[in-house]
Structure 1
Amino acid sequence: MRKSRIFLYALLLVILLGVLYVSLGKTVGKEQSSGSVSDSKVIDEAFQIIKKQAVFSKSDKLIVEGAIEGMAEALEDPHSTYLTEEEAIAQESSLAEERVGIGAEIMSSTGKFIVVAPIKDSPAFKAGLKPLDEIVRVNGEKLDGKSMRDLVQLLSGEKGTNVNLTVFRSSEDRHVELHMKRALIAQHTVTSEVYTLDDFSVGIVTISLFGEKTAEEWEKQTKSLMDRGIDGLLVDVRGNPGGYLFSVSSIVGTLLENGSTFAYMQDSKGVLEMLKTEQKNPYLNKIPTVLLQNGGSASASEVLAGALRDHKRAMIIGEKSFGKGTVQETHPLSNGGKLKISTHKWLTPKQEWIHGKGISAGLEVEQDELFTMDVKFQQGEFQVGDYGEEIQYVQQVLSTLGYNIIRKDGYFGEDTLEAIEGYRKENSLNKGTGINNELFQSLSKTVTDYKARKENDKQLLMGLSYLQHNMKK
């Protein structure tokens, strides 16, 4: 009887110890897991050290995001990157049919944000925003030291919400307060026009980006051109950074025969997948075609160029393209961010990988220096003896216009003064002893107007001339 009772007590003790062990194990496990951020021991170790000892420690969110960024950077692929939730939203909106904003084209020039032009009938247009206005504050927040991405985030928001801009209008030498509400802004990525050459007409189609609705815009624009009876087609993808591959597929399908291979996709294991056109009505496959490209034509633009080149469907005119031969996939993460990584190589129909090499133009044409010069909107007053990058820009522009300037390093010498005086006289500007805002504005307008005139675009002229020669055959 006693032995049985002792045995029972012993059994109860074992059970109690077991329960305590399991309970303590769970508690310890919770304590360990509370500091765990991954299944990697070394990552968790580093995380704990940073949290406990780093003098400049950050929030858990920022530390984890930094780790993800580091993993993406370790791939040594500039096209693989981590996007925060805000950056992911911004990237998607850049390729979307519509985006919420104020509707203005803005450029960054020497640390300043200058309005190129407001979109007609947009909130910015209705509020009175003008070309050359410098945006200095958004909702009271100064833009000193901020990037273009920072500005885009400040201008972004919900439809119908208020935006207050403070701009400096140099033409009036004063600051102006503008008030507007964010609205849906339609994004058009395809534009077209008809250019007449003797007895022939050429449809000029410009694709700025391969977005969500680019294929639909392309079809609408090109069918309208065909209805107008064009004899040739010039496709301009200069400065087009790429976009969605499905948009390229639809566009190529209108130019090549049904079932044509326009590219190959190769995965990380080297397996090739053939991509074929599926356009039921390739209504553009017989019309003489030219493609204009430059060093800013990348990715999807190069897929189009490679397909047209390898099928001998179009003459490529301009400069060598950028050379981006990879395709990225974007994967959503639980923190709202996204991981964009290169998952495939793409190859031309002849299975050429153009990554880092680009696609050469069949006819290389170099533009004039003034045509390729960036338009900068400088401000300030400078006299002989001063030195600065603003002065150097004036020297560069005047030199390309044919004025004799010996020093073009930013030093304001007598040769620069003589050139300025000559330019002032020739353009009927007020007399002055140096550089001022009036001169800067005039020079910016001179460069802008020069770049806008077709007769100064050597690549376009060569494309039109090539088409004219082929249309006469």
Structure 2
Amino acid sequence: MQRSRFLLFVMLAVIATGVFLILDGCSGGAAKTGGAKSSVSVIDEALSVIKEKGVYPVDGDMLIEGALRGMADVIGDPYSTYLTQEEAAAHRESLAAERVGIGAEISRSSGKFIIVAPVKGSPAEKAGLQPYDEIIRIDGERLEGDSLQDVVQRIRGKEGTSVGMTIYRPDLDKHLELTVVREKIPVKTVSTELIQERGKKIGYISITTFGNESAKEWLDGTNKLIQEGAESLIIDVRGNPGGYLHSVGDIASSLVPEDTVFAYMQDAKEMLTPLVTESSDKLTYDDKLKKMPIVLLQDKGSASASEVLSGALKDLRRGFITGTTSFGKGTVQDITQLSNGGEMKLSTHKWLTPKEHWIHGKGVKPDLEVDQNKLFNEHIHLVAEDYTTGEYHEDIAYGQRLLVGLGYEVERQDGYFDESTASAVEAFRADMGIAADPKMDRQFYAKLKEKVEAFRADKKNDKQLQMAIGYLHHQLGGK
């Protein structure tokens, strides 16, 4: 317990100073600085010269924010950065247990802002928003010059307030006026499923990010799987960009004995601080978790906190890692709140695996490398434009890649709509029972999205998952 008490002292000292070590992907609390004015006189001199003599008027706050961003940029570290007040709020929200909004996925296609899908039971669905609805106005104002982030920010607001939307619905060829009341949308980071194959019960648990409530969700999910008879566990962190370090610690504590070092923190003076697993007064995990065979699935999108978990399981020989090499982010950031409402995020530590390996720029290598079907790596979205033979566009290349992934013969995938593409489009349309026409149109892209999503939902097409199931079946002594 000695290391455990030392870690507790370190954490209490950290909390006392108001600064939290965070990983980003992993993210955490902020510390106030008191808003002291810069002591570097040359910065104040430059600010005065620009404001007094510059031919181009610039807001003083913008100059200060530019200087802050520049100071972070000159470090040359992509994880050390300045966040404006709005960016800082969005950053914190990304790991919150719930968000206020309308509950709809929005994409940008050829300059149009398209509803991809409203979340089931969400305010967007209740208000009648449908896939392929094009957003024309928000609260009476058009969207010219807006980025996707701008549109999302305009739609968001306080719980219980409403947002007016003018949408164009292609199926009706008309504009509609809708009012959507913003609500809290729960954000689930952990999902589970019991996989039954060849007489064995395997628990599958996916973690999309390590958020505030992930450890509690993990507890509920693993308890449910054990109650259902799971004999082993697949942990899926593919595409997981990171999250809160304390969530990783809580989850690791459920898988290995108490007082086990699951990572180290190394400061600028190369002093190592062990991070050890501990029992929790709030979270009581089933002891069976510490004995179950485990496979962790990862890919190049698994970063930061995900790598803390995979690195720990690998070094401690507690789990078998399969998939592809992870992203490779081995630094830790402090976030300091500034007097202007912004935040300075600065890399202050490295984190190391239990065997003191620094994975930065290298990633965690899997025990068994398995490449995934390319369809699983595509961002599936809706396209609102029409394309035909002889045209060239990235939307066409997207359609070509999906057709090839589904087994259709296409000679090129560079976005040029050639004769082989036309033949493949016609064949796909015939297979899907839609109008025979060698054209990539809204109907074609909607059916293509539907078909690819069905392909990805079929576990037999997930090569990495199938390898994990096969490995665990062998571990459990299956035939």
Q: TM-score range by the shorter chain?
A: 0.7 to 0.9
> What is the aligned partner in structure 2 of residue 11 from structure 1?
none
AA partner of residue 409 (structure 2): N
Alignment of 1:70-81 (within 5 A): 70-81=70-81
Q: Report which stretch shifted further, 122-131 or 220-229.
A: 122-131
The answer to whether 1:380 aligns with 2:385 is yes
Secondary structure of 2:275's aligned partner: strand
Change (3 A) 1:145 1:433: same
> What is the aligned partner in structure 2 of residue 17 from structure 1?
none
Q: CA RMSD in A?
A: 2.0
How far residue 174 of structure 1 moved from its aligned partner, in angstroms, is 4.0
Output the CA distance in 2 between the equivalents of 1:391 and 1:174: 27
Alignment of 1:18-167 (within 5 A): 38-108=38-108, 111-167=111-167
> What is the aligned partner in structure 1 of residue 292 from structure 2?
287
How far residue 412 of structure 1 moved from its aligned partner, in angstroms, is 2.3
> What is the aligned partner in structure 1 of residue 25 from structure 2?
none
Change (3 A) 1:413 1:119: closer
The answer to whether 1:340 aligns with 2:345 is yes
Q: TM (normalized to structure 2)?
A: 0.87
Change (3 A) 1:256 1:76: same
Q: Report which stretch shifted further, 457-466 or 115-124.
A: 115-124
How far residue 450 of structure 1 moved from its aligned partner, in angstroms, is 1.5
Instruction: Give the conservation status (yes or no) of the 8 Å contact 2:337–2:343.
Output: yes
Query: 1:23-50 CA distances to partner (integer Å, 9 max, x unpaired)?
Result: xxxxxxxxxxxxx962212112211221
> What is the aligned partner in structure 1 of residue 16 from structure 2?
none
Instruction: Give the conservation status (yes or no) of the 8 Å contact 2:110–2:385.
Output: no
Larger Rg: 1
How far residue 239 of structure 1 moved from its aligned partner, in angstroms, is 0.7
Query: 1:111-153 CA distances to partner (integer Å, 9 max, x unpaired)?
Result: 5544443233221121122344443433233344433332332
- Of residues 351, 365, 380, the one that matches 1:360 is 365
AA partner of residue 398 (structure 1): L
Q: Report which stretch shifted further, 257-266 or 52-61.
A: 52-61
Secondary structure of 2:274's aligned partner: strand
Q: Report which stretch shifted further, 67-76 or 377-386.
A: 377-386
AA partner of residue 55 (structure 2): V
Q: How many residues matched?
A: 438
Query: 1:323-347 CA distances to partner (integer Å, 9 max, x unpaired)?
Result: 1111111111111111111111100
The answer to whether 1:424 aligns with 2:429 is yes
Output the CA distance in 2 between the equivalents of 1:245 and 1:121: 32
Secondary structure of 1:342's aligned partner: strand
Output the CA distance in 1 between the equivalents of 2:147 and 2:326: 27
How far residue 367 of structure 1 moved from its aligned partner, in angstroms, is 1.3
Secondary structure of 1:255's aligned partner: coil
Secondary structure of 1:95's aligned partner: coil
AA partner of residue 227 (structure 2): D
Instruction: Give the conservation status (yes or no) of the 8 Å contact 2:161–2:182.
Output: yes
The answer to whether 1:436 aligns with 2:441 is yes
- Of residues 450, 455, 460, the one that matches 1:450 is 455
How far residue 155 of structure 1 moved from its aligned partner, in angstroms, is 2.2
Instruction: Give the conservation status (yes or no) of the 8 Å contact 1:111–1:145.
Output: no
Query: 1:89-110 CA distances to partner (integer Å, 9 max, x unpaired)?
Result: 1111221122211122334556
Output the CA distance in 2 between the equivalents of 1:309 and 1:112: 46
**More helix, by proportion:** 1
> What is the aligned partner in structure 2 of residue 14 from structure 1?
none
Output the CA distance in 1 between the equivalents of 2:212 and 2:274: 23
- Of residues 352, 374, 377, the one that matches 1:369 is 374
Q: Report which stretch shifted further, 182-191 or 140-149.
A: 140-149
Change (3 A) 1:174 1:390: farther
Structure 2 unaligned blocks of 5 or more:
1-35
Change (3 A) 1:188 1:42: same
AA partner of residue 94 (structure 2): S
Output the CA distance in 1 between the equivalents of 2:243 and 2:331: 12
How far residue 301 of structure 1 moved from its aligned partner, in angstroms, is 0.5
AA partner of residue 162 (structure 1): S
Output the CA distance in 2 between the equivalents of 1:250 and 1:233: 17
Instruction: Give the conservation status (yes or no) of the 8 Å contact 1:371–1:450.
Output: no
Output the CA distance in 2 between the equivalents of 1:433 and 1:227: 52
Output the CA distance in 2 between the equivalents of 1:79 and 1:142: 35
Query: 1:167-216 CA distances to partner (integer Å, 9 max, x unpaired)?
Result: 34444444433211112222111111111012111111111111111111
Instruction: Give the conservation status (yes or no) of the 8 Å contact 2:393–2:416.
Output: yes
Secondary structure of 1:264's aligned partner: strand
Secondary structure of 2:193's aligned partner: strand
Instruction: Give the conservation status (yes or no) of the 8 Å contact 2:110–2:384.
Output: no
Output the CA distance in 2 between the equivalents of 1:453 and 1:169: 31
> What is the aligned partner in structure 2 of residue 5 from structure 1?
none
Instruction: Give the conservation status (yes or no) of the 8 Å contact 2:423–2:438.
Output: no
Output the CA distance in 1 between the equivalents of 2:145 and 2:237: 33
Identity, % of aligned positions? 48
How far residue 440 of structure 1 moved from its aligned partner, in angstroms, is 1.9
AA partner of residue 380 (structure 1): E
> What is the aligned partner in structure 1 of residue 312 from structure 2?
307
Instruction: Give the conservation status (yes or no) of the 8 Å contact 1:170–1:437.
Output: no
Instruction: Give the conservation status (yes or no) of the 8 Å contact 2:104–2:118.
Output: yes
Q: Report which stretch shifted further, 357-366 or 174-183.
A: 174-183
Alignment of 1:386-425 (within 5 A): 386-425=391-430
Change (3 A) 1:44 1:459: same
Q: Which has the higher contact order (CA 8 A, sep 6+)?
A: 2
Output the CA distance in 2 between the equivalents of 1:356 and 1:220: 34
Secondary structure of 2:290's aligned partner: coil
Output the CA distance in 2 between the equivalents of 1:132 and 1:319: 35
> What is the aligned partner in structure 2 of residue 232 from structure 1?
232
Q: TM (normalized to structure 1)?
A: 0.88
Change (3 A) 1:142 1:327: farther
Q: Report which stretch shifted further, 133-142 or 422-431.
A: 133-142
Output the CA distance in 2 between the equivalents of 1:304 and 1:180: 40
